[in-house]
Structures are given as structure tokens and as C-alpha cells.
Amino acid sequence: ETGVTQTPRHLVMGMTNKKSLKCEQHLGHNAMYWYKQSAKKPLELMFVYSLEERVENNSVPSRFSPECPNSSHLFLHLHTLQPEDSALYLCASSQGQLNNNEQFFGPGTRLTVL
Amino acid sequence: AQTVTQSQPEMSVQEAETVTLSCTYDTSESDYYLFWYKQPPSRQMILVIRQEAYKQQNATENRFSVNFQKAAKSFSLKISDSQLGDAAMYFCAYRVEYGNKLVFGAGTILRVKS
């Protein structure tokens, strides 16, 4: 696999379920990101990890819990979600804080909360 | 806070013709980066072109070029000789010089007619 991969690609869950989204990057990057993409809204940055430490939490509700066990993997643990959390969740990675660091995106997980 | 505005929710262009997508942004910083990302229907977002704010010369990548007007805080994308594969959602994004937080606009859907 190359680039940034995400699993699952589609997820339907009830409000009482617990599930996790997985992201893996094969680019040797040291920064990873979670974004939420809702219809007709700008992408919203949720979390940033740099060198496996969380450096940004963009006022995300606690029902979303990120985990970065190493520089190649990023998880988003979900529990007791609300229907308004239905969206496309995108993972991205980049090479730290270099001036022109491009963010490479995964294909996303389409989440539907019933 | 920085904001990015894309005033065109949808645009259409005839194959082989030229189209321009608009983007304006608001920032008090003098050094920053601007990006155009393309998100095809398959959802994998890819970088189209980037512009460093300190460079006066407009960036160009094959059929894609930008018109960067720093004083006006405007960053439009011109696609020449449009192809069917250009059909996608296009996002304008901003990032400060040192940092990894991208601020996105709401996106413009580009349709290419054959």
C-alpha cells in the first residue's frame, strides 16, 4: 500500500455503539491529522499529532477520542455519537513543520450515525 | 483568526475551455502558504498547486495556474484546456508559514461538460 490508507471506508453505527476509525500512512511522515468533512461546510480540523504527541485539539467533543500509537498509525475512537456526527472523516499526514510541507490525504471514512 | 472564502459553490466549464475558481482569505500574517486541493468523486484529496506568499510570481503546474493578489488577499485558480478528469470539488486552503494547521474554504464543485 502506498500513501495514506483509511479503514473502514464506510461505517454505519448506532448512537450507543463504540467503533474505531483507522488511518495508516506509508510516507515516513511524522505528523498526522483528523478532519471532519460535512456537506457544504469547510473541512474542520479535529486533531493534530506531531511526533506522536497531540499538538492540537480543535474543541472536539469528548465522544471523539484520538490515539496515535506510532508515527505511522492514527485512530479515532468513537462512542455515543450523535446523528450530526455523520460526515466524511479524513486522515492526512505531512512531514512535520517544514515550510512547504504538503498534507497527503486518505480516501476517508463515510460515517453514518443512526 | 484566519478564514478562507470560496464564493462559487458550483461552476461548469466546457471541455477544452478555461475556467477560473475564486478564493479570498483573511489573515494578519505576512508570511503564509496557499493551496488548491482537488477532491474527485472517489474522495482522495490531492494537492493541485501551492503558492508561497513571499513569492510575487504566480505558481504554475501544467494546465493549472494561480492569480495571487496579496494586497487583495485573493488566490484564484485557472484551469486551462479543461478535461473531463478535472471534474471534482476544489478546495482553497491557507497555512501560516510555520505550522501544520490548514484552514479550508467550503469548496467549489467543478463540472466539466463534453
Range A96-107 average pLDDT: 76
Helix (H) or strand (E) holding B19: strand B19-21
Q: Taking residues B61-72, what's their average pLDDT? A: 96
- Testing the interface with B: which of A10, A34, A43 to mutate, by most B Cβ within 10 A? A43
pLDDT tens figures, B18-44: 999 999 999 998 889 999 999 998 768
Question: Number of A:B CB contacts under 8 A?
Answer: 55
Per-residue confidence (pLDDT) for residue A41, from 0 to 100: 84
B94 and B29 Cβ atoms separated by less than 8 Å:
no
Closest CA to A61 of A83, A38, A40, A79: A79
Output the pLDDT for position A39: 84
DSSP for residue A59: S
B100 with A94: Cβ contact below 8 A: yes
What is the pLDDT at residue A98? 54
Res A67 pLDDT > 90:
yes
Which is it for the CA torsion A25, A27, A31, A34, positive or negative?
negative
Nearest to B34 by CA among B48, B13, B16: B48
In a mutagenesis test of the A interface, which of B100, B103, B109 is the best target, namely the one with the most A β-carbons within 10 Å?
B100
Determine the Cα–Cα distance for residues A49 and A66; give it in Å rounded to an integer.
9
